[in-house]
């Protein structure tokens, strides 16, 4: 009974205090909020330790048991503690691991930056391949999406402006009364892109955002009132 | 029939090769392209430009190396702009892996602008639990950062003695690749009325336009294009401007591939129906 009701009471009381602290920034509620925030920062700090412990334990076990793919686990453990060791050494030797001459910064500049940038850059290749296969004009909605994507891609880079100026020059040759400089300066692809970003997609994002927020509020209320108890494993 | 089927289902290795060439060739040949500046970036520029000399700008590094090619040029350009306007810079970060990027940029820009650590800028480092820290700075920055990232007390820096909370910070710049920018807008913009400029990856920009349109952002710099626009506005082309021809050609190639793929798809579908 106590095992189930005590956590529910703690959640309910804490939520009420936090709501009161938000709307009444004076003593004692204002101080209470500050205290809660400090606790939150401390707990957030400890989650890193928990994460390192969990990750290291899992992969050291895989190495000791020679589980399939254990050399990758070994590499991970070596990289984890190697980075930690270099960071600590740099801290003592250079007062900060981020000092430019510190060994940690060497690791960061020549391994972490290129590795992370490469991982992210390879996404471009997969996106192109996926878009080429999946972006098909199968129905009206798909056609609309494809058209909007092409217009944004076209208007978002200087290529759109260059092509538009070439179109303006071509139009001037056909209709001499058209001023190619004035028409070229309009940069219609960029204007269309700006409109799509500021109006079209913003309306959709706002709709999604409002839906998510309402869902978040509903879920929060369910937790505060003890209706949602999955965090208690019940 | 076979030709159109082949066209609508090109081998992915051909696509990879074409994209690699589309990116690499412009980076090697370095053609000049004209950069058009958009309103969100101009407003971000004006937010910095309109600050009185000596104002404090807090720059938060909320991205890590995966987004550095897009966001790092923004940081370099904004630092150049701030230092040119004799603004004081406080650097912080909400991603531990991103903070060294800030240090790299400071060490690149400060010497070329003759700026001194502790006099013109400080790096206060990183603290876990960013929402708590964001709200906490609203009361007193020293509650979370008593020292800089090297352990030197903040009060030993002259300009930092006058900085206590958001009232003493003229502008907050969040350079982000995730939801941290949203947190700055919600917790700091909404609660403390702090003026905020966000620089983000191209993928994140659509999500932030809602805050820009509602006036919750003083400016928005989106992706490599946004970074190149900021470089154009400060009249100092950098790596973003250098990258724009490659991005232009890559976008052109993707549009071309989409047209070819769909042409093949439509023709082969029509022939199958007949």
Q: Does B248 sit within 8 Å of A159, measured CB to CB?
A: yes
Of B101, B133, B248, the CB nearest to A41: B133
b/e map A119-152, b = 16+ CB within 10 Å: ebeeeebeebbebbeebbbeeeeeeeebeebbbb
Contact with chain B for residue A135, Cβ under 8 A: yes
Q: Does A108 sit within 8 Å of B265, measured CB to CB?
A: no
Three-state secondary structure along A173-206? HHCCCCCHHHHHHCCHHHHHHHHHHHHHHHHHHH
Rg (CA), chain B: 22
Tokens of A83: 């980075």
Mean of all residue pLDDT scores within chain A: 89
Bridge pairing between strands B56-62 and B171-176: parallel
What SS3 state is found at A7? helix
Q: Does A125 sit within 8 Å of B16, measured CB to CB?
A: yes
- What residue of B is the nearest CA neighbor of A98? B100
A84 chain-B contacts, CB cut-off 8 A: none
The answer, yes or no, to whether residue A220 has pLDDT greater than 70, is yes
Question: What are A69-88's pLDDT values in tens digits?
Answer: 999 999 999 999 999 999 99
Residue A76 Cα, gap to closest chain B Cα (Å): 17
B258 chain-A contacts, CB cut-off 8 A: 131-132, 135, 146, 149-150
Of B12, B100, B261, the CB nearest to A105: B100
pLDDT, position A21: 82
ipTM score of complex: 0.85
CA-closest candidate to residue B199, choices B10, B22, B25, B67: B67
The C-alpha angle with vertex B176 and arms to B102 and A77, in degrees rounded to 5, equals 70
Residue A215 burial class via C-beta count within 10 angstroms: exposed 0-12, middle 13-18, buried 19 and up:
exposed
The number of C-alpha atoms within 13 Å of B258 and in the hemisphere containing its C-beta is 25
Phi and psi (nearest 5°) for A12? -65, -45
Q: Rounded to whole angstroms, what are the CA distances from A27 to A18, A30, A112, B130?
A: 13, 5, 46, 24
B90, B169 contact by CB (below 8 A): yes
pLDDT, position A199: 92
Q: Does A128 sit within 8 Å of B129, measured CB to CB?
A: no
Question: What are A164-179's pLDDT values in tens digits?
Answer: 999 999 999 999 988 8
Contact with chain B for residue A186, Cβ under 8 A: no
Which of A25, A113, A145 to probe the B interface (max B CBs under 10 A)? A113
- What residue of A is the nearest CA neighbor of B39? A194
Contact with chain A for residue B52, Cβ under 8 A: no
pLDDT by 10-residue block (mean), chain B, 274 residues:
75 93 94 91 97 96 93 97 97 91 94 95 89 88 90 93 95 92 93 95 92 95 96 95 94 93 86 80
Residue B86 Cα, gap to closest chain A Cα (Å): 25
The C-alpha angle with vertex A3 and arms to A2 and A9, in degrees rounded to 5, equals 70
Q: What is the mean pLDDT of residues A124-130?
A: 91
Walk across the sheet containing B219-222 and list its strands.
Answer: B121-126, B88-93, B56-62, B171-176, B196-200, B219-222
Of B19, B33, B133, the CB nearest to A125: B19
Please state which of the ranges A25-39, A108-122, A187-201, A216-230 shows the lowest mean pLDDT: A25-39
b/e map B144-160, b = 16+ CB within 10 Å: bbeebbeeeebeebebb
The answer, yes or no, to whether residue A136 has pLDDT greater than 80, is yes
pLDDT, position B1: 60
User: What does the alpha-carbon distance between residue B126 and residue B124 come to, in Å, rounded to a whole number?
Assistant: 7
Question: What is the percentage of chain A residues whose pLDDT exceeds 70?
Answer: 100
Contact with chain B for residue A200, Cβ under 8 A: no
Q: Does A44 sit within 8 Å of B132, measured CB to CB?
A: yes
The answer, yes or no, to whether residue A211 has pLDDT greater than 80, is yes
Contact with chain B for residue A143, Cβ under 8 A: no
CA-closest candidate to residue B177, choices A116, A64, A171: A116
Band (pLDDT 50/70/90 cuts) for residue A64 is very high
Q: Rounded to whole angstroms, what are the CA distances from B90 to A1, B56, B84, B119?
A: 52, 7, 15, 11
Contact with chain B for residue A156, Cβ under 8 A: yes
- What residue of B is the nearest CA neighbor of A25? B139
Contact with chain A for residue B127, Cβ under 8 A: yes
Say which CATH architecture domain B39-237 belongs to.
3-Layer(aba) Sandwich (3.40)
Residue A214 Cα, gap to closest chain B Cα (Å): 16
pLDDT, position A207: 95
């Amino acid at each position: 009974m106590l095992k189930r009701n005590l956590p529910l009471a703690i959640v309910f009381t804490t939520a009420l205090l936090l709501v009161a602290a938000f709307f009444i920034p004076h003593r004692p509620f204002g101080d209470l909020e500050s205290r809660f925030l400090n606790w939150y920062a401390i707990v957030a700090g400890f989650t890193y330790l928990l994460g390192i412990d969990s990750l290291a334990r899992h992969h050291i076990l895989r190495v000791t048991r020679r589980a399939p793919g254990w050399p990758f686990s070994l590499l991970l453990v070596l990289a984890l503690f190697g980075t930690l060791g270099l960071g600590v050494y740099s801290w003592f030797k250079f007062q900060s691991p981020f000092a430019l001459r510190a060994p940690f910064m060497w690791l960061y500049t020549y391994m972490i930056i290129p590795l992370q940038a490469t991982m992210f850059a390879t996404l471009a290749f997969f996106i192109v391949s996926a878009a080429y296969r999946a972006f098909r004009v199968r129905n009206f909605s798909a056609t609309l999406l494809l058209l909007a994507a092409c217009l944004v891609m076209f208007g978002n880079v200087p290529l759109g402006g260059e092509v538009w100026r070439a179109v303006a020059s071509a139009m001037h040759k056909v209709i001499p009364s058209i001023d190619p400089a004035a028409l070229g300066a309009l940069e219609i692809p960029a204007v269309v892109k700006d409109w799509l970003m500021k109006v079209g997609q913003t309306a959709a994002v706002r709709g999604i955002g409002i839906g998510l927020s309402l869902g978040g509020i509903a879920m929060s209320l369910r937790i505060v009132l003890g209706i949602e108890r999955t965090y208690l494993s019940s | 029939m076979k030709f159109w089927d082949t066209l609508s289902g090109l081998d992915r290795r051909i696509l990879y090769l074409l994209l690699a060439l589309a990116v690499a060739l412009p980076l090697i040949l370095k053609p000049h392209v004209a950069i058009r500046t958009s309103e969100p970036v101009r407003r971000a520029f004006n937010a910095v430009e309109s600050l009185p000399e000596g104002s404090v700008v807090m720059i938060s590094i909320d991205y890590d190396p995966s987004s550095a090619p897009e966001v790092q040029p923004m940081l370099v350009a904004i630092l150049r702009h701030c230092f040119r306007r004799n603004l004081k810079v406080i650097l912080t970060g909400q991603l531990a892996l991103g903070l060294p990027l800030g240090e790299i940029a400071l060490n690149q820009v400060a010497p070329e602008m003759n700026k001194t650590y502790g006099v013109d800028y400080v790096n206060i480092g990183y603290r876990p639990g960013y929402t708590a820290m964001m709200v906490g700075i609203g009361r007193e920055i020293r509650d979370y950062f008593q020292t800089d990232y090297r352990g030197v007390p903040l009060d030993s820096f002259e300009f930092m003695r006058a900085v206590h909370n958001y009232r003493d910070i003229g502008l907050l710049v969040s350079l982000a690749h995730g939801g941290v920018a949203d947190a700055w807008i919600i917790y700091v913009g909404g609660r403390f009325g702090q003026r905020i400029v966000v620089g983000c990856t191209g993928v994140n920009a659509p999500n932030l336009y809602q805050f820009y349109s509602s006036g919750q952002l003083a400016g928005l710099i989106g992706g490599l294009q946004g970074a190149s626009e900021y470089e154009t506005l400060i009249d100092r082309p950098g790596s973003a401007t250098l990258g724009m021809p490659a991005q232009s050609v890559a976008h052109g190639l993707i549009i071309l591939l989409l047209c070819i793929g769909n042409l093949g798809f439509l023709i082969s579908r029509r022939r199958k129906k007949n």
